[in-house]
Amino acid sequence: MADSESIDTTSVQDQQDDPLADLPDEALRQLVEDAMLGNRILANETTMFEKFLKRVEPNMMVAPSAAPTPSVSVQDTRMMRKRSKSKAGGVDRHLKLTAEQKCDIAQREIEELREEIEKTKEDSEKVLDTYRAIMEEADMRLSEIKKASYEFDRDIVKGSVNPRSDKVVAEKVVRYFDDKLRQRDTLIEKLRLKNSTLKVQKKKLQLQLKQKEEMGEVLHEVDFQQLKIENSQYLEKIDERNQDLLRLKLMAGNTLQVLNTYKKKLHTLTMESDRLKTEISSRNELLSRIDTETEQVEVERATAEKLNRKLRQQLDDYKVPEVVEYVREKADLYELNKTVRSWERKVEIAEMALHTHRKTWNQLKLASQQHNPWGLEPVKMA
């Protein structure tokens, strides 16, 4: 009974101390809304301050251990409420932040939020670039697949069908896939070399960046502008490379057509090779006949060598005369030559005399014919 009386007396006293007891419902509702708005503002400020405090001094943000709350009576609660009301003003005066501090914290949080937004934008751009690259690669793969399908349909399904059996020639199919595998191996080797080159460039750039960081160089806005210019230049180069890639693809198509032409020529040359093989066999027969003739010639050559050796033996057996005899023979030869020249001179003189006498005889004979035109023989005197 004593406890109930004490509770009634305290409730009456609280109603007398509480200024909100006489207010109407509309005023109370407005006060509640204002209090909720103030609570939301304070919650935002508290959240912002906690973020700032976590970033500046993370060690201070330690979660307090949950202590067991002892059971409190209604009277003790009301007494604590009165004490909190009485101390609220002093606590607010000592713990509230000033407007400058709040502005400073808010400014720092805004900058941090901007940095997070920029970082998020960069991450999003990277993700978008990745998706764009994937889409471009998918488009390229789709175009390559369409091209390969078209070439397969043109070269194998329609171009390599045997008109007699209406079946695909297996050799052409195997050759087609061998060419494709060879082209793929060549592309893989090119990409591997390009990848190794890019890795070397990456290592060089990392080393340069590390050296700049060690030297304490800081990038300024001018450097970023230069990087943007270089990025635009590289983008232009990439576009040029894409154009070159398209041109090379067209060249690859033309090369494939030329390859088909050369395949036809290869078929023609294969037939020519068969003809040449037949001709080679005939030439081999001719060569065998020539070998037989060569053997006969070898026999004749052996005979000629034997005769040559015999003549050489005779030449070796020949003895050279003595010097005196040689001089004597030369002198005799000189005298004989001299005699021959003398006789030749005499023969010439005799021939000249004979020519003169013949001429004189012819003149006399002509003169005698003129004196005896009738061809009468002269009368011989007894």
C-alpha separations of 233 from 197, 202, 238, 267 in Å: 20, 19, 9, 50
Q: Burial code of 82-98, b = ≥16 C-beta within 10 A, e = fewer? A: eeeeeeeeeeeeeeeee
Q: What is the pLDDT of residue 70?
A: 42
The encoded tokens of residue 298 equal 């070898």
Mean pLDDT of 130-139: 91
Mean pLDDT of 332-359: 92
Task: Supply the pTM of this predicted model.
Answer: 0.33
Mean pLDDT of 371-382: 53
Residue pLDDT, tens place only, 67-78: 444 444 444 544
Q: Is the pLDDT of residue 4 over 60?
A: no
The encoded tokens of residue 140 equal 């390229």
Residue pLDDT, tens place only, 21-45: 677 888 888 888 988 988 988 888 8
82 close to 14: Cβ distance less than 8 angstroms: no
- pLDDT confidence band for 378 (50 / 70 / 90): low
Judge residue 156's burial from the number of C-beta atoms within 10 Å of its C-beta, 0-12 exposed, 13-18 middle, 19 or more buried: middle
**How many CA atoms lie within 13 Å of 54's alpha carbon, on the beta-carbon side?**
10
Q: Is the pLDDT of residue 380 over 50?
A: no
* Residue 161 φ/ψ, nearest 5 degrees: -90, 130
SS3 letters for the chain? Answer: CHHHHHHHHHHHHHHHHCHHHHCCHHHHHHHHHHHHHHHHHHHHHHHHHHHHHHHHCHHHCCCCCCCCCCCCCHHHHHHHHHHHHHHHHHHHHHHCCCHHHHHHHHHHHHHHHHHHHHHHHHHHHHHHHHHHHHHHHHHHHHHHHHHHHHHHHHHHHHCCECCCCCCECHHHHHHHHHHHHHHHHHHHHHHHHHHHHHHHHHHHHHHHHHHHHHHCCCCCHHHHHHHHHHHHHHHHHHHHHHHHHHHHHHHHHHHHHHHHHHHHHHHHHHHHHHHHHHHHHHHHHHHHHHHHHHHHHHHHHHHHHHHHHHHHHHHHHCCCCCHHHHHHHHHHHHHHHHHHHHHHHHHHHHHHHHHHHHHHHHHHHHHHHHHCCCCCCCCCCC
* Residue 18 φ/ψ, nearest 5 degrees: -80, 120
Q: What percent of the chain has pLDDT over 90?
A: 25
- pLDDT confidence band for 321 (50 / 70 / 90): low
Residues 6+ positions from 87 with CB-CB distance below 8 Å: none
Residue pLDDT, tens place only, 158-216: 777 777 777 777 788 888 888 888 988 998 999 999 999 999 999 998 888 888 777 75
